[in-house]
Structure formats: C-alpha cells, structure tokens
Amino acid sequence: MIYLNGEYMPIEEARIPVLDRGFIFGDGVYEFVPVFERVPFRLHEHFARLERSLAAVKIPNPFSEATFAAVIDKLVAAHPSANQGVYFHITRGVAPRDHSFPKGLTPTVFVMANPLTLPTQKQVDEGLAVAVREDIRWLRCDIKSTSLLGHCMLRTEATGEGCAEVVLVRDGFLTEASSSNVLVVKDGVVLCPPKDHLILPGISYDVILELLAVHRIAHEVRPVREAELRGAEEVWITSSTKDVLAITRMDGKPVGDGRPGPLFRRMRTLFSALKTPPEKPAHRGSPEHD
Ligand code: PDD
C-alpha cells in the first residue's frame, strides 16, 4: 500500500501524469524517515527538514506535522516489517512544460514504506571501502531535491569499483558522501564539516553532534581539508540507514590501521542505545489480558 495525493492504494494502481514537473524537471523534494520497531526516529526533525526543503524551492507544504505523522503510522501499520523506511516525494505538480515555476499548482504527493536494510554485522565489524571523487553536484546540496543525477553518477562509478559509497571533495575540502554525511577523526578530534549549502543537514549527523557534546568528546565543526580526510585516524559516515559506520579503505588505501577505530565503536554503541525503545513495564501476562 502507498499514499498518493490523499489516497491509499496498491502501488500497481498508482498513476501520475507525464507532465508532472517531478517527471519533466526533477522539480521536487523528498524526505526519508527511518522507523525502528514501528516507531519513527526523530520525526519532528525530519518534518522540519522537509519544510525547509519545500520552502527553499517554493513548493507549499501539503502536510501539517500531524498529517505527516498519521501517513507514516498508517503505512507502517500496513506493512509487516518492524523496521521500515518511509519515503516522502513531493513535486510542484502538473503543468505545461516551462522552466519558470507556474503559480497555483497542486503539489503531487507520493509516500511509500519499505523494509529498512540495516548494516550487516560484517559492515559494522570491518567498515566500508569508499572511493573519493570531486563533488560534481550543484551548489544547493542543503535542499533534499529529487534531482539526484550527480549523486547517482558518482555512486555508480564507486560501486563499479567495488566500493560501498563515494566520499566527495570540493575545491580541496570534504563535503559529504552520495547519501551520507562524513566525519573525520584527526589527532583525536572529531572534525565535522559545517552544515552549509554544500551538504545535506543530516539528522544522523545531528545525533552524532549531540552525542559528542553530551559525552564531552573533543570535536570541531569547521571545513575539513582533503589532506585531513586522507590522513585521518578514523573516518565515519552517518545516515538514517547506517546510523554510523566506519570507513576503513579510501581509494584502496587503509584508513588508520584499516580497522574501525575506538571512537567509532563508542559512537555506534551510544547511537544504538538512542534508538532502542524504552524498556517495557514488567510482563504482567499476555497482551490480551492486560
Ligand atoms: N540519504 N547526505 C546526503 C546526500 C543524503 O542523501 C543523506 C540521506 C544524508 C544523511 O542524512 P540523514 O542522516 O538524515 O539520513 C546525507 C537518505 C537516507 C536517502 O537518500 O535515502
């Protein structure tokens, strides 16, 4: 079951007109909300980011936060997996092809839930291999735009070389990866690229920043030079589907000693604890009798 323009239906029945500007221009934005044990993670933060993306491209927000949450609940309840990813896709709507934004369109809204593919134990224990490439994307990477051709080209090149992700540098500075943020440990300090127009402000990145602050782990939010990335003791990627994972090979060379580092292991444990739902009260019999 999916949601399209206010209705729930099987995905096979979903139709959109070919003049939808999402199809013609990639004129739309998206959001991805991870759901663990049927509970959306950081729902408010995801809604706020969707609002910011929509406002940046001047598409009216079709959702209140309550409707946004209700659509997630309904789709999640209709699917068997406890862990799911809910994908929101909102385009400007349908209009004769013209580059300028037409006024008064009704946005097209599509939402689907899929089982969440979480990292394997091997990926956690051994880390990931990545390629490093020049960031060829546009200059508004803070908008979660559906126009992802640059991301797709870069990722495809990297996966063709047997890498799981592609880490991007622009003009000698680290930006992010094709679908994750990147942090670097250098001289024992966690270096976090600033949330400017060159990176997506990741919800998982913010979780890490909070954990670093709460646990008083040395960190700096500042531009990270490519040389610092390449000479790092540890490199991490963060995203809704990965939480935090270590990068252990970059362009075929080991990062640090080639194994996930101690700070990474600490962060991963702290992050996982945040996602665990609070302890249920002591068992008092089967749910039917409660
Ligand atoms: N990707 N940077 C980019 C370019 C991304 O596409 C993503 C997320 C992130 C991490 O953001 P968050 O921590 O909020 O997931 C950073 C999602 C998962 C996607 O494209 O499906």
Ligand 1 pocket, mutate which of 84, 179, 243 (most atoms under 8 A from CB): 179
Query: Does the beta carbon of 241 sit less than 6 angstroms from any atom of ligand 1?
Result: yes
d(CA 179, CA 167): 9
d(CA 225, CA 211): 24
Give the residues across from 92 on adjacent strands.
none
Q: Tell me: the pLDDT tens digits for 213-247?
A: 999 999 999 999 999 999 999 999 999 999 999 99
Six token digits for residue 223: 């531009």
Q: Tell me: the pLDDT tens digits for 84-132?
A: 999 999 999 999 999 999 999 999 999 999 999 999 999 999 999 999 9
Domain ranges of the chain: 2-115, 121-274
Q: What is the pLDDT of residue 249?
A: 98
Write down the architecture of domain 2-115 according to CATH.
2-Layer Sandwich (3.30)
Write down the architecture of domain 121-274 according to CATH.
Alpha-Beta Barrel (3.20)
| 22 Cα: distance to centroid of ligand 1 (angstroms) | 20
Ligand 1 pocket, mutate which of 45, 49, 240 (most atoms under 8 A from CB): 240
d(CA 121, CA 68): 33
d(CA 168, CA 135): 5
Under DSSP, the state recorded for 12 is G
| 289 Cα: distance to centroid of ligand 1 (angstroms) | 42
Q: Tell me: the pLDDT tens digits for 41-90?
A: 999 999 999 999 999 999 999 999 999 999 999 999 999 999 999 999 99
144, 186, 195, 275: which one is catalytic? Answer: 144
Triad 185, 160, 83: Cα angle to 5°: 65
Query: Does the beta carbon of 32 sit less than 6 angstroms from any atom of ligand 1?
Result: yes
144 is catalytic: yes
